[in-house]
């Protein structure tokens, strides 16, 4: 295997097998350099580097708005093997800044494939890098924390390593960044598409349901589909919606979506809205991911940055009330500090990987949230009961009012 000299003061780094010259490069802010084979778009990108342990769902991951400001290293080597299609995107365009994989993507082998991963990335301006020692890269992230990184793809293999390192060191990082504003919808809209089912695909909800206002901090499409499938008429509002905006739709329940960035930064405008809702109404509230963190902040808890976060479709989470263990999909770099939960707010779920908080609820009220992604795309369906619990709370409130 050939080797390439990055800097005279840097160690030799192994390049991709069989390549005479690398066409892609990764520079971390601590000076580590990795070479590989570029695919997808050419150019450069700077972001936080994370790793994802999911075995499926790379298209959903790249289009998950929660990955704004991040480059994804996939620990599973067979990325690209099922190609891409027009149905699996979680939002209109990829949000992750780029992807890093062990093996160069092969030709797709799946009946749903409409194109290759490389072409899909190129058309959408996202860089892919293959032939990288992702095990070594992942170990570095676990040991030292999620680094800031610059990735580059140049077919001629020309890289300005000094400039890339300077950019990586100068990038401010996700702490203090409000990225929800960048990925939220520009205006409100209705949603009635339901979950994919054989053989119809995505059906539309035709019957009336419970009126739900979903706050879009970076909502994944499949979360909205799950709400519709569970029995909700969904109206989506931008992240900056006020309590007055929300209540103007006469909702029976409030949903808080997933999203990217520092929850404390988004909370500057999201927390006052939630406090008003909680103090002036008895509406059921359900939050996921960033929405979970927004609810926790509104209740007086704090959030903290994690060393390398949780990213994958194989994370065990325990529901404390029942002892049930759910295999969940996760994507977050910040977490709720359970030690700061106020009286009357209980911890409902915990991660079995590190004991971090994965759920909260207000005692005696239908207000709850989870850190993981119960919409299960990608991942199993262990947690879909949470959508049903939300709908049951709205139904009970309606019956009591009647």
The question of whether 388 is a catalytic residue gets the answer no
As a whole number, mean pLDDT of residues 51-66 equals 95
How far apart CA 157 and CA 306 sit, in angstroms, is 35
Enumerate helices (H) and strands (E) in the chain, giving the number of each. Answer: 10, 21
DSSP structure class, residue 199:
T
| pLDDT band, residue 27 (cuts 50/70/90) | very high
**Is 148 annotated in the active site?**
no
Coil, strand or helix at 117: helix
The DSSP 8-state label assigned to residue 124 in this structure reads: T
Contacts 24+ apart (CB under 8 A), 15-22: 15/131, 16/104, 16/130, 16/131, 16/132, 17/131, 19/131, 21/157, 22/157
- Region 101-112: mean pLDDT is 94
* Per-residue pLDDT, 382: 87
Active site residue 185: no
Say how many C-beta atoms besides its own lie within 10 A of residue 332's C-beta.
Answer: 25
User: Residue 6: which pLDDT band, with cuts at 50, 70 and 90?
Assistant: very low
> Given the DSSP bridges, would you call strands 201-204 and 193-197 parallel, antiparallel or unpaired?
antiparallel
Of the residues 226, 232, 289, 358, only one is catalytic, namely: 289
Instruction: Tell me the whole-structure pTM to 2 decimals.
Output: 0.93
Q: What is the DSSP string of 24-44?
A: EEEEETTS-EEEEEEEES-EE
223-252 pLDDT tens trace:
999 999 999 999 999 999 999 999 999 999
List of domains in the chain: 3-170 (3.50.30.20), 180-401 (3.40.50.880)
Tens-digit pLDDT profile for residues 343-369: 999 999 999 999 999 999 999 999 999
pLDDT value at residue 402: 76
- Omega before 359 within 30 of 0, i.e. cis: no
Q: Answer with the residue of higher pLDDT: 199 or 354.
A: 354
How sure is the predictor about 199, in pLDDT bands with cuts at 50, 70 and 90?
confident
Count of CA atoms in the C-beta half-sphere (13 A) of 349: 29
pLDDT of 2 higher than 80: no
Tell me what pLDDT residue 377 has. 61
**Residue-level pLDDT at 165:** 98
Closest CA to 292 of 353, 393, 361, 223: 361
Host H or E run for residue 272: helix 263-280
Q: Which residues of 78-100 are buried (b: 16+ CB within 10 A; e: fewer)?
A: ebbbbbbbeebbbbeebbbbbbb
| pLDDT tier, 401 (very low <50, low <70, confident <90, very high otherwise) | confident
- C-alpha 26/C-alpha 36 separation (Å) is 8
Q: What does pLDDT average to over the chain?
A: 93
Average pLDDT over every residue of 374-379: 70
Nearest to 309 by CA among 373, 341, 369, 354: 354
Catalytic option among 148, 153, 349, 373: 373
Q: Work out the average pLDDT over 178-189.
A: 98
Decide: residue 372, CB within 10 A, 0-12 exposed, 13-18 middle, 19+ buried: buried
């Amino acid at each position: 295997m050939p080797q390439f000299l990055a800097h005279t003061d840097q160690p030799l780094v192994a390049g991709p097998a069989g390549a005479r010259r690398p066409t892609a490069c990764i520079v971390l802010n601590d000076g580590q350099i990795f070479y590989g084979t570029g695919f997808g778009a050419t150019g450069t990108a700077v972001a936080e580097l994370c790793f994802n342990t999911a075995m499926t769902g790379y298209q959903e991951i790249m289009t998950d708005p929660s990955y704004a400001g991040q480059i994804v290293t996939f620990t599973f080597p067979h990325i690209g093997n099922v190609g891409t299609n027009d149905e699996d995107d979680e939002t209109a365009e990829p949000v992750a800044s780029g992807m890093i994989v062990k093996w160069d993507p092969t030709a797709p082998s799946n009946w749903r494939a409409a194109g290759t991963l490389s072409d899909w990335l190129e058309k959408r301006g996202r860089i892919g890098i293959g032939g990288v020692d992702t095990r070594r890269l992942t170990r570095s992230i676990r040991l030292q924390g999620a680094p800031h990184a610059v990735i580059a793809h140049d077919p001629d293999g020309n890289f300005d390593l000094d400039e890339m390192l300077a950019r990586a060191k100068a990038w401010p990082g996700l702490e203090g960044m409000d990225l929800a504003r960048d990925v939220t919808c520009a205006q409100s809209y209705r949603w009635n598409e339901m979950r994919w089912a054989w053989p119809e695909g995505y059906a539309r909800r035709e019957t009336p349901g419970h009126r739900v206002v979903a706050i879009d901090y970076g909502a994944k499409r499949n979360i909205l589909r799950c709400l519709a499938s569970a029995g909700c008429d969904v109206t989506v509002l931008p992240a900056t919606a006020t309590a007055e905006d929300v209540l103007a739709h006469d909702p029976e329940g409030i949903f808080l979506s997933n999203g990217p960035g520092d929850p404390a930064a988004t909370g500057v405008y999201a927390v006052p809205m939630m406090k008003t809702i909680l103090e002036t109404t008895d509406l059921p509230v359900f939050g996921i991911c960033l929405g979970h963190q927004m609810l926790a902040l509104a209740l007086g808890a704090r959030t903290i940055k994690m060393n390398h976060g949780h990213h994958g479709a194989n994370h065990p989470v325990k529901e404390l009330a029942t002892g049930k263990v759910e295999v969940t999909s996760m994507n977050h770099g910040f977490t709720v500090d359970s030690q700061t939960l106020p009286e009357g707010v209980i911890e409902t779920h915990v991660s079995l990987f590190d004991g971090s908080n994965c759920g909260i609820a207000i005692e005696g009220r239908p207000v709850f949230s989870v850190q993981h992604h119960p919409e299960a795309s990608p991942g199993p369906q262990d947690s879909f009961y949470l959508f049903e619990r939300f709908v049951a709370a709205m139904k009970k409130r309606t019956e009591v009012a009647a």
